[in-house]
Amino acid sequence: MTIEHEREELIKVLAGQRELFRITVRGIDDEQARQRTTVSELTLGGLLSHCVHTERHWTTILAERDPNSEFDVSRMDSEYRLDPDQTVEGLLAEWDVVAEHTAKLIRELPNLEDAVPTPTAPWAPERVWLSVRYIVLHILREIAHHSGHADIIREALDGANTTYQRAN
């Protein structure tokens, strides 16, 4: 397999996982996106917001490679919420832009094995260096993980999920 082929496969798998998440939120309005349907605080809108922010966060790390960066813990309070000024449609459009940027980075970064410094955080005070490939796979894991959460929340909302959509 060539490196170009691997890059395109990574882009394709990321796009496929984003599409599964999109299927889960298809047909809901902003009020439904803010509704808790399980004992968890998680909502469909909050998970969507988190996925968009997480992908943007990690692609920024890939692009900037700041050896002195620190994780901004102040954003954690709002990241899992669909704020009053946000909409599902707006976040999905924002995710399209982020996804294009991710694909561009995957295609253009010189080497998937390059080590990238990650931000320190209260739970990770020592700097860790991860490969570009690892970070891309981490983005995929985050989207896949939260797609599963979203599926459960959607099913509790109206019975729909990624494999079954109720007729509107």
Domains delineated in the chain: 3-158 (1.20.120.450)
Q: What is the pTM of this model?
A: 0.94
For residue 138, the surrounding DSSP H or E stretch is helix 132-158
In angstroms, the Cα distances linking 58 to 43, 46, 131, 137, 166 are 22, 18, 12, 11, 34
Q: Does 144 have pLDDT greater than 80?
A: yes
pLDDT range class, residue 76, cuts 50, 70, 90: confident
SS3 42: coil
How confident is the model at residue 162, as a pLDDT? 84
pLDDT per residue as tens digits for the range 3-43: 999 999 999 999 999 999 999 999 999 999 999 999 999 99
| C-alpha–C-alpha distance, residues 36 and 33, integer Å | 8
How confident is the model at residue 82, as a pLDDT? 95
Average pLDDT over residues 83-112: 97
The residue ranges of DSSP E strands in 59-165, in sequence order, are: 115-117, 129-131
CA angle 65, 69, 73 (to 5 degrees): 130
Q: Does 166 have pLDDT greater than 80?
A: no
